[in-house]
Amino acid sequence: MSSRPPVAQVESDVACLELFHGPTLAFKDFGGRFMAQMLAEVAGDQPVTILTATSGDTGAAVAHAFYGLKNVRVVILYPQGKISSLQEKLFCTLGGNIHTIAIDGDFDACQALVKQAFDDQELKEAVHLNSANSINISRLLAQICYYFEAVAQLPQEARNQLVVSVPSGNFGDLTAGLLAKSLGLPVKRFIAATNANDTVPRFLTTGQWEPNTTVATLSNAMDVSQPNNWPRVEELFRRKIWQLKELAHGAVSDETTKETMKELAALGYLSEPHAAIAYRVLRDQLQAGEFGLFLGTAHPAKFKESVEEILGQELPLPQALAVRAQLPLLSHNMAADFAALRQFMMTLPSLTKPVPSPCRERERISHCSGRLNTSSLPAEAASSKAYPSRLKSTSCSLRSKRFLMIKRLISPRAFLA
C-alpha cells in the first residue's frame, strides 16, 4: 500500500485525494492496518476480541488487517442485503479468525448491537472486547496523516484557500480532518457531504437533532442516521472555540449523484457514488479564488454494478476483487437481537496461535492507476504485475523511535478498555 495517496487533478480548481489504492481499495485501509499493528504491540499475549459494525468498507479493511494475527478474534456485523456483493465478498470469504454476521436490519441496528456489547461488562471481560470502528481513536490517528500528505502535494497558491469536502456517514473521516486542522493543517473550511441520510446537515440548519429512519442509497457506506463520531466533532469545535456554523454542509440525492458521476465522466474522471457526492457539494459551494479537494474513499470497481449501469460502460475488476468474487460466503445470519449476538460471542473458539493465511500469498492485489480514463480503461488494471500493492512488513516501523513515541502517547486503555 502506497504511503502517499495521490492527488488527482479533476479541474483547474478541483482535485481528488485518492485513498483507494490499498489492499481492500478503500480509505479505511490506512486506519485499519495502523490499528491492527498497534493493537498487536500493545496487547502482547493478551487475547482480544474485536467487535465492529460495517456499512461496507470498514469490514474489509478490518478483516484483512487482523486476518491471521495471533490471539485476535474478529466479529463483524453488517446489514444484510444493504452492501454491494463485492464489498461483502471482500471480508466474508476469509474464515479463520474472522467471523462475519449478516444482521437483519440497517447499519444503525448493527451499531446499536455493538454499543450493547460494550455496555455488557461481563461480556467485555469474558472475551476481552475491543472495537475497530472509528470509536477507536487509533483508526483516526492514521487518517490524520493523509490530510497533511495531501496538502503537501498541492502548490502553495492552492494551500492558501483550500476547501476540503468529505463524504460523511459515521463522520470519522471528518473528525480526523478536523483533528488535522487543530494541529495546524491549513484548511479554510471543511464541508460535510452526506446523502439522503442528512441528520447532520439538517441539524446544522435548524439546530434540531432529529434522526430519521435510515434509507438505502447508492452511497451505502454513508447510510447512517446517527453517526457515532458527531459528539467528537462538536467537542472539537468547543475546544478550539470554532463555531459550528463554520462547518459547511450539503446533502445529495441519488438522482443528483448519478448526474454528478456522469458530469465527472465527461471531465475524464471515473468516480463512484461517495466521491461524487463530495464533489457535488464542493462544486456547488466553491467560491472564486478557492481550491477544492474532495476525498475519493473507495475504488469505483467496488460499486461495479451501479457504476456500469449509470455510466453505461464496462468496468474491469482489480485482482483483489476478482479473486474474492469467486469464493463462497462464510457469513452467519442473525436477527438484530443482542441475546443471540452475546451467545455467539461467548461460544467463539479461542485462538492462541496465528491463523494460516495462504490467501495473502496467492493474492497479489492490483488496482487501476490514479487517474481513470472513462473512454478506455487500461487493460493492465486487472494485472497483478502492473500495479502490485503488496503491503511491506511493518516490523521495522514498529520498532522505530517514532512508534515508541506514539505508544507512550496512547494509553493502553484506548485499546484494551
Catalytic residues: 28
Cα–Cα dist 274/277, whole Å: 5
CB distance 34 to 309 below 8 Å: no
Cα–Cα dist 128/61, whole Å: 21
Measuring CA to CA, how many Å separate 148 from each of 151, 184, 371? 5, 9, 21
Residue 161 is classified by DSSP as T
| Per-position DSSP letters for 208-246, written without gaps between them | ---PPPP---SSGGG--SS-TTHHHHHHHHHHTT--GGG
Measuring CA to CA, how many Å separate 101 from each of 88, 175, 321, 350? 11, 28, 20, 18
Cα–Cα dist 139/412, whole Å: 14
CB distance 340 to 334 below 8 Å: yes
CB distance 201 to 251 below 8 Å: yes
Rg (CA), the chain: 20
Query: Which helix (H) or strand (E) segment is 199 a member of?
Result: helix 199-206
CB distance 92 to 331 below 8 Å: yes
Residue 214 is classified by DSSP as P
User: What's the one-letter identity of residue 189?
Assistant: R
Q: How many CA atoms within 13 Å lie on the side-chain side of 352? A: 1
CA dihedral sign, ordered 214, 216, 218, 220? positive
- Residue appearing with cell numbers 464489498: 87
The three grid cell numbers given for residue 194, joined into one nine-digit string: 452526506
Q: Compute how many other C-beta atoms are within 10 angstroms of the C-beta atom of residue 355.
A: 17
Cα–Cα dist 16/7, whole Å: 6
- Residue appearing with cell numbers 475546544: 239
The three grid cell numbers given for residue 412, joined into one nine-digit string: 493502553
User: What's the one-letter identity of residue 383?
Assistant: S
The three grid cell numbers given for residue 148, joined into one nine-digit string: 497533511
Contacts of residue 157, defined as CB under 8 A and 6 or more positions apart, other chains included, come to: 291
